Chain A
Amino acid sequence: MKVVAALSGGVDSAVAAAHAVDAGHEVVAVHLALTPDPREFRDGARGCCSLEDARDARRVADVLGIPFYVWDLADRFKEDVIDDFVAEYAAGRTPNPCLRCNERIKFAAVLDRALDLGFDAVATGHYATLHDNGQYVELHRSVDDAKDQSYVLSVLRQEQLAHSLFPLGPLRKDEVRRIAVERGLLVADKPDSHDICFIADGRTSEFLREHIGAEPGAIVDAETGDELGAHEGVHAFTVGQRKGLHIGQPRPDGAPRYVVGVDPSTRTVLVGPEQLLRVDFIVGESPIWCGPAPEQGDAVGAQMRAHGRELPATVRYEDDRVEVSLLEPERGVASGQTVALYERTRVVGSATIMSTARQPQPH
């Protein structure tokens, strides 16, 4: 196969590319320039787009003996990922930009371009497993639970998965680092990236204030309606958050308060006790099914965060609406997050969370 290996400059994509070469594919390395200013030279390794990372990626391609190109997707990235990130926060939701990047950049803009240029697939360093069962390509969790990235890939449809390669699927992170050392890939000991790649200093709240603007508003007790304090802008708050509220008066029962809701239209941050965070009914929209759609009422596992836990649930859907009933409540589920659905280790699909609720308890 002719394969584009997306090289970030990190160890995972380097080893993935090496495996694609070893598998006998004709591999071309592509580094994605995503940062608005490609000349920016940042200290440290932060994921995907500094000049230093571009150099590291080029060096990996040299070592593997494959051609290397930079594809400038900064405009697409800004439009589809950064602007979306800002707009979602401005609307009081909590997006996951990595998921958007996979959906709209890596397995859309990059994949389309690769296919158009005569390639058969795109290989990335994601920790997830693909299995062709003869009817369709199944997306599964990685064997390395701690590194599993199937959640951020749960937005991929069949036509995308059918042209994807995740060579790290059967590997664990420590094995990946070992292979990198053995092959003389100097990125072997580069630290993992954890933060949002386009927020260079990791200060998300400042980034959002710069892009959305800070409009002060009230912090209101969700149970009593009492105004408990003021804040400098709703962008700094997300459902489930406990820190940064700065409320002088404690609850009468001494229990900690959490953000339980954010309403950008009135600039209100609602706070309440931990039990208000517990939800077991999730409404999502725009479902994406990675393979065949599930049966109504199917038992699934539901995961609401990139490294969150998986909870037993059932799923129903109609048109654009998906309802996920959790068998036990989860706390801190914000709208804008993605709920990924699993059948054992297989990713069934995902939807964007629009609202959450607590179902009446049968007693």
Chain B
Amino acid sequence: MAYLDHAATTPVRPEALAALTSAYEQTGNASSLHGAGRHARKLVEEARESVAASLGCRPGEVVFTSGGTESDNLAIKGIFWSRQADDAGRTRVLCSAVEHHAVLDPVLWLGEHEKAHVDLIGVDSVGRVELAALAELIERDPASIALISVMAANNEVGTIEPVAKIVDLAREAAIPVHSDAVQAVGSIPIDFALLGLDALTVSSHKVGGPHGVGALVARRGRTLEPVLHGGSQERSRSGTLDAPGIAGFAAALAAAVECREDSAVRIGALRDNLVRGVLLAVPDAVLTGDRDPAGRLPGHAHFSFPGCEGDALLMLLDAKGVECSTGSACTAGIPEPSHVLLAMGVDPELARGSLRFSLGWTSTQSDVDELLDALPAVVDRARRAGRPRIRPMSRSLGASE
């Protein structure tokens, strides 16, 4: 078995598991005022401080959520609505064309339902935001922009985005910037204060914590209109706090950030072996994204295999115990052409034959070797299946009089 899909989710770290199980041994709602409640509250607040230390923000800036998608929705809608409440003229929302659906869809939703004017910021051929294009969009009418959202690193191809430079461009017009750092945290340095962001999304299970928990870091003073209404357990967010999940998340995040540097070197070396090996095994495979390893996440490798369909490759590799991803899939599992690759200008035909391999904290060289052993035969097979066949039909189509 070779698990090469750490960008989808990564194994739970032992620190997280220990924090989770120990927290589950106690009863307590963090909002209760008695002893049990105080115990749960203590876990949550310790976790908040730990998360703040890991991300370079203040504890009061951490809003615990159910994960990346909720954090992105809260940031996009929450900032848009509160900026609109201050000034109805702020109708524009800018985001990169390669955002995850958890950002892209709320932005488009605002366009469809809240009369927002959506500007998608173009990217270059490696998927990196064109700063000149962004500058031009801002200059057009800075006062009309409610917010800008650009991910810290792309989930499909792993390209690292110039977030600090984007914040610089936005600062002059005092435009808040949100960044989805779900893929980046634990892989590259992310310091909220240093980056000068207004909001930052992070997810627990991508760093080795439990599923269903995450956080939005929101700058102090940044008002967010809530998306979930109720008991106001968190700033701008309601719902009973998942104290064990939050404790597990904080432990995983701390572990991931602590060993980030060494881990990035080790995983990056494995990834470079993988890239070299794939290009050797399948000479016409096309490496997508930034060719400079420093410009992409250490664990990410993304290829297009001409003449193949991604889902055929995925199925054949799965049958050989190699687990990877085609990059994007909708709920029914139907492969759709990746909006990320299309925005990068990848030929749609080539985009159909794409696979993402992502390495993480448990990856070893044997995972890479297993892939390289299986890949040539799998690509041959998928290529055969990619060619359409002609067969006689009972009636030729369009034979109508």
Report A's interface with B, CB cutoff 8 A: 28, 31, 33, 38-39, 51, 54-55, 58, 67-72, 79-80, 83-84, 87-88, 90-91, 93, 103-104, 108, 112-113, 116-118, 155, 265, 285-286, 288, 338, 350-352
* Contact count A vs B, C-beta below 8 Å: 79
Name B333's contact: one of A54, A83, A108 (CB within 8 Å). A54
Name B382's contact: one of A38, A104, A117 (CB within 8 Å). A117
Q: Is B104 part of the binding interface, using a Cβ–Cβ cutoff of 8 Å? A: no
Name the residue among B312, B382, B391 with the largest chain A CB count within 10 angstroms.
B391
Is the Cβ of B381 less than 8 Å from the Cβ of A352? no
Is the Cβ of B333 less than 8 Å from the Cβ of A58? yes
Question: Which residue of the partner chain B has the closest CB to A116?
Answer: B385
Question: Given A69-B315, A285-B395: A38 and B332 within 8 A (CB)?
Answer: yes
Q: Enumerate chain B residues within 8 angstroms of A72, measured Cβ to Cβ.
A: 311, 334-335
Is the Cβ of B330 less than 8 Å from the Cβ of A352? no
Chain B interface, number of residues (Cβ within 8 angstroms): 26
A352 to B311, CA, bound (A): 36
Is the Cβ of B397 less than 8 Å from the Cβ of A79? yes
Name B385's contact: one of A91, A104, A117, A265 (CB within 8 Å). A117
Within 8 A of A (CB), among B323-353: 330-335
Is the Cβ of B394 less than 8 Å from the Cβ of A351? yes
Is the Cβ of A80 less than 8 Å from the Cβ of B394? no
Is the Cβ of A108 less than 8 Å from the Cβ of B385? no
Is the Cβ of A80 less than 8 Å from the Cβ of B332? no
Shortest CB-to-CB span from A332 to chain B, Å, is 21
Is the Cβ of B381 less than 8 Å from the Cβ of A117? yes
Q: Enumerate chain A residues within 8 angstroms of B397, measured Cβ to Cβ.
A: 79-80, 83-84, 87
A286 to B394, CA, bound (A): 5
Question: Given A83-B397, A117-B312, A352-B394: A70 and B385 within 8 A (CB)?
Answer: no
Question: Which residue of the partner chain A has the closest CB to B384?
Answer: A116
What are 24 A-to-B residue pairs whose CB atoms are below 8 Å? A31-B333, A33-B334, A38-B334, A67-B315, A67-B318, A69-B311, A69-B315, A70-B332, A71-B311, A72-B311, A72-B335, A79-B397, A87-B398, A88-B400, A93-B400, A103-B393, A113-B312, A116-B384, A117-B316, A117-B381, A118-B381, A286-B393, A338-B394, A350-B394
Shortest CB-to-CB span from A281 to chain B, Å, is 20
Question: Which residue of the partner chain B has the closest CB to A83?
Answer: B397
Q: Enumerate chain B residues within 8 angstroms of A54, measured Cβ to Cβ.
A: 332-333
Q: Is B389 part of the binding interface, using a Cβ–Cβ cutoff of 8 Å? A: yes
Shortest CB-to-CB span from B334 to chain A, Å, is 5
- Interface of A: prevailing SS: mixed
Question: Given A72-B334, A116-B381: A67 and B319 within 8 A (CB)?
Answer: yes
Within 8 A of A (CB), among B344-401: 381-382, 384-385, 387, 389, 391, 393-395, 397-398, 400-401
Shortest CB-to-CB span from A351 to chain B, Å, is 7
A362 to B333, CA, bound (A): 63
Shortest CB-to-CB span from A121 to chain B, Å, is 16
Report B's interface with A, CB cutoff 8 A: 311-312, 315-316, 318-319, 330-335, 381-382, 384-385, 387, 389, 391, 393-395, 397-398, 400-401
Q: Enumerate chain A residues within 8 angstroms of B331, measured Cβ to Cβ.
A: 39, 51
Name B330's contact: one of A38, A79, A286 (CB within 8 Å). A38
Question: Given A67-B319, A117-B312, A118-B381: A33 and B393 within 8 A (CB)?
Answer: no
A83 to B330, CA, bound (A): 26
Shortest CB-to-CB span from B17 to chain A, Å, is 25
- Ordered nearest first, which 6 A-B pairs have the shortest CB separation? A91-B400, A116-B385, A70-B333, A54-B332, A286-B394, A116-B384
Q: Enumerate chain A residues within 8 angstroms of B401, measured Cβ to Cβ.
A: 91, 265
Q: Enumerate chain B residues within 8 angstroms of A70, measured Cβ to Cβ.
A: 311, 332-335
A31 to B333, CA, bound (A): 10
Q: Enumerate chain A residues within 8 angstroms of B384, measured Cβ to Cβ.
A: 116
Shortest CB-to-CB span from B336 to chain A, Å, is 8
Name the residue among B318, B332, B382, B401 with the largest chain A CB count within 10 angstroms.
B332
Question: Which residue of the partner chain B has the closest CB to A51?
Answer: B332
Question: Which residue of the partner chain A has the closest CB to B335?
Answer: A72
Q: Enumerate chain B residues within 8 angstroms of A58, measured Cβ to Cβ.
A: 333
Q: Enumerate chain A residues within 8 angstroms of B332, measured Cβ to Cβ.
A: 31, 33, 38-39, 51, 54-55, 70
A352 to B393, CA, bound (A): 11
A163 to B381, CA, bound (A): 19
Shortest CB-to-CB span from A33 to chain B, Å, is 5
A70 to B384, CA, bound (A): 19
A103 to B392, CA, bound (A): 10
Question: Which residue of the partner chain B has the closest CB to A264?
Answer: B401
Q: A118-B381, A286-B395 provided; 14 other pairs, C-beta below 8 A? A: A28-B319, A38-B334, A39-B330, A54-B332, A68-B333, A70-B332, A70-B334, A91-B400, A113-B312, A113-B385, A116-B384, A117-B315, A117-B381, A352-B395
Shortest CB-to-CB span from B175 to chain A, Å, is 33
Question: Which residue of the partner chain B has the closest CB to A155?
Answer: B394
A54 to B331, CA, bound (A): 9
Q: Enumerate chain B residues within 8 angstroms of A104, measured Cβ to Cβ.
A: 393
Question: Given A38-B334, A67-B319: A103 and B400 within 8 A (CB)?
Answer: no
Name B394's contact: one of A28, A69, A288 (CB within 8 Å). A288
Name the residue among B316, B333, B389, B397 with the largest chain A CB count within 10 angstroms.
B333
Q: Enumerate chain B residues within 8 angstroms of A88, measured Cβ to Cβ.
A: 400
Q: Enumerate chain B residues within 8 angstroms of A28, measured Cβ to Cβ.
A: 315, 319
Shortest CB-to-CB span from B21 to chain A, Å, is 27
Shortest CB-to-CB span from B378 to chain A, Å, is 10
Q: Enumerate chain A residues within 8 angstroms of B312, measured Cβ to Cβ.
A: 113, 117
Q: Enumerate chain A residues within 8 angstroms of B395, measured Cβ to Cβ.
A: 84, 285-286, 352
Shortest CB-to-CB span from B348 to chain A, Å, is 13
Question: Which residue of the partner chain B has the closest CB to A104?
Answer: B393
Shortest CB-to-CB span from A340 to chain B, Å, is 11
Q: Enumerate chain B residues within 8 angstroms of A118, measured Cβ to Cβ.
A: 316, 381
